[in-house]
Chain A
Amino acid sequence: MSPDQNPIVELVGISKHYGATAALEGVDFACHAGEVHAVLGENGAGKSTLMKLIAGVIQPTEGQVRVDGQPCTLPNPAAAVARGLVCMFQELSLVPDLTVLENLMLGAPGTGLGRLRRDVVAPARAVLARIDGGHIRMSARVADLSLAERQQVEIAKAITRNPRLLILDEATSALNASVVDKVFAMIREETARGIGVLFISHRFHEIEALADKISVFRNGRHVDTFRNGDYGYGAIIGKMVGQRIDDLFPPKRSTPPGDEVLRLDGFGWPGGIEDVSISLRRGAIVGLGGLDGQGQSRVLQGLFGLLKGTAGEIRIGGNPVRIATPEAAKSPELGIALVPEDRKTEALILDQSIARNLELAALGVPGVAAEDPAIYQPFTDALELKCASLDQPVGQLSGGNQQKVALAKWLALKPRCLLLADPTRGIDVKTKTQIYRLLRQLADQGTAILLLSTDYEEFIHLCDETHIFYDGRIVRHLSGDDVTAENILAATMNMAVSEASHA
């Protein structure tokens, strides 16, 4: 690691834009041989974008990538692997319908379209045996493996590609502690051999135990890079949080919420929720937080009748109910509305006009005149929907205006209980304030709101109380003065409060 040695990969002035949103902005970053470099940041900070750039999955909008000091482009993952940049992805890169053996051989260096080489098998077996994966059969189909086993195969696949820089994006999220220790031991050995490791994890203790260097990202910008141990936990969280504007949010109201509208008791689902209990009162806004995929979005789906075989009890207005389908959920008796996470695929039909999209939710609900534009107007007005006319296809609107249509379509049903899945993700600040104002207004009029969010500012400034999910369970319930950025971040990484408060 002499200072004159070129870094394996260096990013100079890199930006990556998706339309109007910037995932990375003016990033300078370098990884050196022989060190473990951890990247920290909250959801949407740009960590995964960074990894994908280095792995050749996506191309930068601006800036230069240098490998061993030489400017180069990485047009696809094969080119990155050829230069020794091997990534183990968060969204697994294994092909579900192929066997373990076939996946290990797939795209291995030196394999083109011709005969497959089996010489990766022995080292892969050795790696698997070291990380408690010796029981995984080479002939098993990947789709039949558990998530943890798939991650073990991913690790073996990455290591057998002879990386010079090994990129681990949440590589160990499903593995238990003893396996993680073994993976770490192996990674340390690899760094001793001069291999660089770049690694994202949301488990802070993993980073403390493993990293030589830590880089913090926030809102697509590289905030700081320092040696592990230079700063305490509190200071690092401070770098991740940064400073933000406060007047985005309308003032909270002081009156206490009313009667209980919805109550979940011991709610569970075999696909990843366990023992979730939530109480939602009239006029309350309750936040659901946590890292992506910890079960919070499944809870919303379960409440909207999308999951089969749920356990536990749902009460609406005190009466136990069974919500079997979305149609039942939206009926006036239950009065539940769900604005889903992905507005382009789940909430809207992009090719259809605004007017048609608005009607979709109300169709077939007794007592609602779906085709009457007047029932949507108060909401499109309150949100200041900008469009040429209601006959314009929704696909032509900006993301923010699309979200307004998705909201208005459900609000016209005057739901008692409104479920929102990250309604402000990827939306500009002005639209955010409009949505916040409307949500506050709805709550004041008595609507009960369950708000899933990846933006903890919303929990602090908009929600009355917040449940933080981890691994399918609620790990913390925060209300009042406890709702602080530090507490939320600590809970999302499932760290004890005391651990977070000293530092």
Chain B
Amino acid sequence: MPDFLRSNRRETIAVAVLVLLLALYLGTHPRGASTYVLTIWGNQCLILALAAAAQFFAVIVRGIDLSVGAIMALCNSLASHVLGGTGIDLFFGCLLVVGAGLLAGVVNGLFIVFGRIQPIVVTLATASVLVGLALILRPTPGGAIDYDLADAMTLDLGGVPSSLILGALVVVAFWLPLRRTGLGMGLYAVGSSEQAAFQSGINVRLIRIAAFGLAGVFAALAGLYFSFVTTTGDAGIAPNFTLNSIAAVVLGGVALRGGVGSLIGAMAGAFILKTIGALMFFSGLPPLAQPFVEGLILAGAISIGGADVLRVRNRLEVFGR
């Protein structure tokens, strides 16, 4: 067990902070710990949690994905066109949306691996292209999503918010099994030490493309869930979500240098970020001061993660981080 806690120290801290913040939030909320409050909260959190999951896959292989928000915007705009009609239509609509995200992510990965261009540059460029496509699909906010599907995804099931069930499903049915595959471990190996991974006989290129492909899929899921929550299409959501997804993974203990952290941490980071925002809303602070305080809390939380630089004994090692 001590090993488990030691290897998962960052996630443990993130989850503990989240529990604390949630207790505080439910305590101060005028309507208390009701299903209604939890549902609204959970919906907002899950959108960002899926975006953070997308960012996680890019960051874990020592990359970064600035197109997370753009893929969300594209998928949201696309969803507002294709998510209507009968059950079969809806199914293929969702498939189309997720497929679009996968394609975008794989294109990112191909440029990064075969073009040998840094991820930040590639995804900055593709982000513009994708937002452009989203604007063509949805020049002004509008469109509609099938209400029954949206309700099923965003309300509750026997008192438990659907968003939390979906989040748990991602972790239990996807992440934990993935962690036990060659791909899941390869992601860490490539991010932690590309040379060691290569010398151990890992296909580094394939892993990196897969990582960005997964980032695309999760960004698409985030865009899809955003569609369920808002039931409209909006091409202008990209920048906000991209920046928040990066903040969320850092809060969740994922190292930007790659190789360290977990999907659970990244999603917990997103929940923390959204909960801080929600707390501000009911805090009684003047609205204009809220971004300031929120920023301070964020900066504080992130500096805790960087504190081990102070323990470095060889100054040159600081530059390797």
Contact = CB atoms under 8 A, between A and B. Distances in A.
Interface of A: 55, 57, 76-78, 80-81, 87, 89, 91-99, 102-103, 105-107, 111-116, 137, 139-141, 144, 269-271, 298, 301, 305-309, 325, 346
B181 A107 contact: no
B192 A98 contact: yes
B314 A301 contact: yes
Given A95-B193, A98-B188, A115-B181, A107 B202 contact: yes
A150 B314 CA distance: 22
A111 B198 CA distance: 14
A475 B6 CA distance: 39
Contacts of B312: 308
Contacts of B314: 271, 298, 301, 306-308
B316 interface: yes
A196 to B, nearest CB: 19
B203 interface: yes
B201 A76 contact: yes
Specify which of B188, B189, B201, B202 lies most central, judged by the most chain A CB atoms within 10 Å of its CB. Answer: B201
B148 interface: no
Contact of A113 (B199, B206, B315): B206
Given A102-B185, A114-B181, A116-B181, A93 B199 contact: yes
Given A87-B199, A113-B203, A113-B206, 14 more contacts: A55-B199, A76-B198, A95-B189, A98-B188, A98-B189, A106-B189, A106-B197, A114-B181, A139-B7, A144-B6, A301-B316, A306-B316, A308-B313, A325-B315
Chain B, interface SS category: helix
Contacts of B198: 57, 76-77
Given A106-B185, A115-B180, A115-B181, A92 B196 contact: yes
Contact of B188 (A87, A97, A306): A97
B229 interface: no
B315 A308 contact: yes
Contacts, number: 112
A485 B226 CA distance: 73
Given A113-B181, A139-B4, A301-B316, A97 B199 contact: no
Interface string B246-267: 0000000000000110000000
A32 B32 CA distance: 76
B100 to A, nearest CB: 23
Contacts of B202: 78, 106-107
Nearest to A79: B201
A354 B49 CA distance: 49
Contacts of B4: 139
A97 B6 contact: no
Specify which of A96, A301, A305 lies most central, judged by the most chain B CB atoms within 10 Å of its CB. Answer: A96
Sorted nearest first, the 6 A-B pairs with minimum C-beta distance are A78-B201, A107-B201, A107-B200, A97-B192, A93-B199, A113-B183
Interface of B: 3-4, 6-7, 180-183, 185-186, 188-189, 191-193, 195-203, 206-207, 210, 259-260, 312-316
A106 B185 CA distance: 7
A307 B188 contact: no
A269 B313 contact: yes
A310 B207 CA distance: 42
Contacts of B203: 78, 113
A113 B186 contact: yes
23 contacts: A87-B199, A93-B199, A94-B196, A95-B188, A97-B193, A98-B188, A98-B192, A105-B185, A106-B185, A113-B186, A114-B181, A114-B183, A115-B182, A139-B4, A141-B3, A141-B6, A271-B313, A301-B316, A306-B314, A307-B313, A307-B315, A308-B314, A309-B313
Given A92-B196, A113-B210, A306-B314, A77 B201 contact: yes
Contacts of A80: 201
A172 B276 CA distance: 52
Contacts of A346: 316
Specify which of A98, A114, A144 lies most central, judged by the most chain B CB atoms within 10 Å of its CB. Answer: A98
Nearest to A82: B201
A2 B91 CA distance: 67
Nearest to B177: A115
Specify which of B181, B259, B313 lies most central, judged by the most chain A CB atoms within 10 Å of its CB. Answer: B313
Contacts of A308: 312-315
B214 to A, nearest CB: 12
Nearest to A99: B7
Nearest to A81: B201
B145 to A, nearest CB: 35
B201 A95 contact: no
A93 B259 contact: no
A309 B314 CA distance: 9
A330 to B, nearest CB: 14
Contacts of B206: 113
A55 B198 CA distance: 11
Contacts of A93: 195-196, 199-200
A98 B260 CA distance: 9
A301 B314 CA distance: 8
B192 A95 contact: yes
Nearest to A109: B201
A110 to B, nearest CB: 10
